[in-house]
Chain A
Amino acid sequence: MKNTLSFIIQTTEVTTENWLSSPGVIGTIVLIFIVVFLGLFIFIKRLNIYADLLTKNTKDLTEEEFERRLVNLDKEEVDKILELRRQGFQVTQKQAELTKISSKNSGFIKKIINPKNPLFDEKARSTIKIKISEELKQIVIWYIGASAFWLIFGTLVGQYLGMKFIWPEMDTSSWLSFGRLRPVHTNTVFWGWASLAMIGLGHYVICRTSNREIVSYAWSKIAFWLINLSVFLGNLFLMAGVNNGGGEYREYIWPIMALFAIGIIITFFNFYKTVAMRKISEIYISNWFILASLVWTIILTIIGYFPSYQDGLGETVIQGYYMHQGVGMWFMTFTLGLVYYFLPSSLNKPIYSYSLGVLAFWTQMLFYTLIGTHHFVFSPLPWWLQTVAIVFSAGMFIPVFAGTTNFLMTMRGSWNHISKSYVLPFFLVGVVFYFVGSVQGSFQAFRFTNYLWHFTDFNVAHSHMTMYGIITFLMWACVYALLPKITGKEPPQYLVGSHFWLAFIGLIAYMVSLMAGGTLKGLSWIEGNPFIESVILMENYWVWRAVGGSLMFISHLIFGYNFYLMIRKKKPVGTLLRNYSQSEL
């Protein structure tokens, strides 16, 4: 009885009947609704604009009215219009002044509306082209290009793995078997896609906020090749069946991970020296996050691979620490640094609160570092370590609230931009997922929710919610905000739009199906049903996961194409406009 009592105090009741009323579960359901509402919000905003456009179109010039007016013009009126046009075409006046001529009969087209494609209304184009050095531009494009490649490769593998849940006999080749390919998927999107994209964008932020060039672009290139080589060799070894021991995200053996670590160390010194020689006295908050995440990741990799304390369950302690910090100290911290720069700059206003950013920084370091063991609740690891992890998981609310508030308050007053910009929806989804994914993760660390969800597919849903919903969406936001400005070429907006919606809807399908299935699986285990029943009941949820995954993968192909359009050498923006105007005339 005593045992039972102490257990009630520590968790809530552990009967399956009231699992729905557990705070962690309720919290998670609320969070999922936030995401669904977000989708609806963006959708309705878009729909509104579209509806406005339709009503305006019908009210204004119907074709008949226009023809009637033309026919009814008398000679004097026609002469007057022709005279105005003649003035408009005088050579002495400059182009810029011409477009300012107030008369609507000047003969110049000022705004193009393409009525043939009313589904995708025209968003504001990113007009400013920022002049940066060719070297910086090249480095940014290299990094983002390689990351886009790894994204497509990594998610192709992921999609293939998702299908294996439904058709386990798709192939019988050892190199493509599930156990070997799974780490290929996770490591590729971690070290290939997200890491390279972050470092590429980081070059730009460090450069701009220090108001000087990066110290050495040669170093940047060495780091680029080292990281790419590490991902390439690492995957090759994994498929050949050579891995470090199966611990998640530590699957590359140490000589290969060392290449990655050296790449990170070079990047750190390159960035650090640039910041040290900055031409502004203050260190912008982005650089706090970026420099710290590099330092922390270097330490993390060393601790993760150093052998002296890793026999027996020592390895498990380090595994919890490593896999959580890999996400928290590297991806999350670095990405926050990027958002502190790109979000305000694409809204053209300062960040809401600088001090809130500083608070988020220190609490991120303090709380995130301590919570690794929440991946091993109820395991044979020391109970105190598990308790520390759970308590500080709840403490993660502080940096998450601080960050979310800061970003949302920066966006406040600019909500209308959401319907006018193709970058902001990516930011908004990323920021909302930052809140939802992180808070949901904290809920999941509680003892009861662990009881229900641990070891089930719910974990997979959570990691996609964070690595995809947060990191990947924010990365896309930054890429779409930056590339057109430095190359002067924009992708067509309907392609960016389809990228956004396919990725978003795909993620929701992925997430919800695995969360629902994972919960049922956990309940089935608690009930003590035969294990195979939990496999059978997941079948439909795995199908929906694969459907969601396919949408996500298609969106990545579109992203790859958009990237190509943004960097290709020929065809300046003008051609696109000219095509429009020809069809108009």
Chain B
Amino acid sequence: MLNLHKDHKNLVLLSLIVFVVLSIGVAIIPAYQMQEYEPIPGQLDLTISEKKGLHVYISEGCVACHTQQVRNIEMDAVWGDRPSMASDYYYSKQRMDVWRQSPSLLGSERTGPDLTDIGTRQPSDQWHLLHLYNPRLVVEASIMPSYSWLFRVTDTSYIKEDDVTLPRGITKMEGSDVLVANEEALDLVAYLKSLQQFSMEDAVPPEFIPALPKDIGINETGTNSESSAGASLYQNNCAACHQSTGRGVKGAFPPLAGSLIVNDKNPETLIKIILLGYDARKEYGVMQSFADQLTDEEIKAIADHERSNWGNNAPKVPIETITRLRDSISQVQ
């Protein structure tokens, strides 16, 4: 029999063997299995620039505060259309080089928002660059660090053709100085924009585990919950650029407070912009299309919120208008 109290050799050997066996079972074999997953058909590899951006993302330690996993519970549904799957990480989680392993993208803290689908939520280059230079220029309450070393100050006369600059007013540049984004900043933005949850057209995606339906308070009036839903939707989808004050960001994103389009009695232009996106004015960043992301009811709630706040005062949008516009757009396409 083993006399572990007196036999140091067997004691150490036994604890070594049991630990190794357990480790193989609980770590190494499952790891090999997880490695075998293949990409979803049609899913694209990262471009060179996006891959460089991923390396910046890792070396700046973004994973300390940002997760990239949509868990299969309903509270995570705000971060993506479906729970994340092993295949989603096929291209991004490969060994980086001899020195560095596969990046730990899933993360363990959500001090900042989940970034699985940030490319869909926020496709504007201009927004990302401003946000990286100083997050508080676009999100007032943000506690994210400024990554100002990804930008350089140059004289306006030295700007080359393909240089990407930041608006001068809001970044408080004096004289003829202007901020130009470095290569790393552009790569990082390319990577962030590439973060879009791949939609599965043929296969059935995994479902969220639903939360139990909540009892809706009897006292709560319909109009109250409607307007708070509008505020919350606006906060989630629009406030990053147009700000929760509706004032926008000067030189980057137009204000909605007092806007002629928003206050127009005929809401058609407003609804069209929300559905299709907008890139008509050079001095402002590009706005994405929301047709695929918001339902007619949600668009109505947002439009009503915009038309009744910050001094705006325009009648509510009938839902039929939105449905009609959406139909006409899809016919054209």
Contact = CB atoms under 8 A, between A and B. Distances in A.
A321 interface: yes
A321 B26 contact: yes
Interface string A30-60: 0000000000000000000000000000000
A311 interface: yes
Contact of A535 (B8, B37, B142): B142
Interface string A262-288: 000000000010011000011100011
B23 A299 contact: yes
Interface string A437-462: 00000000000000100111101100
Interface string B221-237: 00000000000100110
B308 interface: no
Interface centre among A172, A307, A315 (most CB of B within 10 A): A315
A530 to B, nearest CB: 4
A528 B103 contact: no
Interface string B62-80: 1111010101110110100
A448 to B, nearest CB: 10
A246 B211 contact: no
Interface stretch (B12-20, B154-162, B191-199, B309-317): B12-20
Nearest to A241: B59
A314 B141 contact: no
B330 interface: no
Contacts of A276: 8-9
Contacts of B26: 321, 369-370, 372-373, 385, 388
Contacts of A533: 235
B11 to A, nearest CB: 6
Contacts of A529: 232
Contacts of A406: none
Contact of A451 (B35, B63, B75, B105): B75
A243 interface: yes
Contacts of B281: none
Contacts of B113: 531
Contact of B60 (A17, A241, A315, A530): A241
B15 to A, nearest CB: 4
Nearest to A293: B15
B84 A379 contact: yes
A291 B12 contact: yes
Contacts of A375: 108
B142 to A, nearest CB: 7
Contact of B35 (A288, A296, A309): A309
A295 interface: yes
A310 B61 contact: no
A242 interface: yes
A219 interface: no
Interface size grouping (class) on chain B:
35 or more
A526 B83 CA distance: 16
B145 A178 contact: yes
B83 A380 contact: yes
A168 B78 contact: no
Contacts of A372: 26-27
Interface in A374-397: 375-376, 378-382, 385, 388
A365 B12 CA distance: 12
B5 interface: yes
Given A179-B60, A295-B12, A525-B75, A380 B210 contact: no
Interface stretch (B43-51, B91-99, B272-280, B297-305): B91-99
Interface string B87-122: 011100111100111111111111111000000000
Contact of A380 (B35, B63, B84): B84
Nearest to B15: A292
A124 interface: no
A525 B73 CA distance: 12
Interface centre among B12, B16, B235 (most CB of A within 10 A): B12
B119 to A, nearest CB: 17
Contact of B28 (A14, A303, A369, A385): A303
Contacts of A164: 143, 145
A122 interface: no
B20 A299 contact: yes
B319 interface: no
Contacts of B59: 180, 241-243
A313 to B, nearest CB: 4
A173 B31 CA distance: 38
A27 interface: no
What are the 9 A-B residue pairs with the smallest beta carbon separation, nearest first?
Answer: A179-B61, A247-B104, A378-B71, A530-B235, A455-B110, A314-B31, A246-B63, A314-B35, A313-B34
12 contacts: A4-B210, A14-B211, A169-B146, A178-B61, A179-B65, A182-B64, A276-B8, A311-B102, A313-B89, A369-B23, A382-B34, A532-B139
Given A242-B59, A317-B27, 13 more contacts: A3-B209, A14-B212, A183-B64, A299-B20, A312-B37, A312-B94, A313-B86, A315-B104, A372-B26, A379-B71, A455-B109, A530-B235, A535-B142
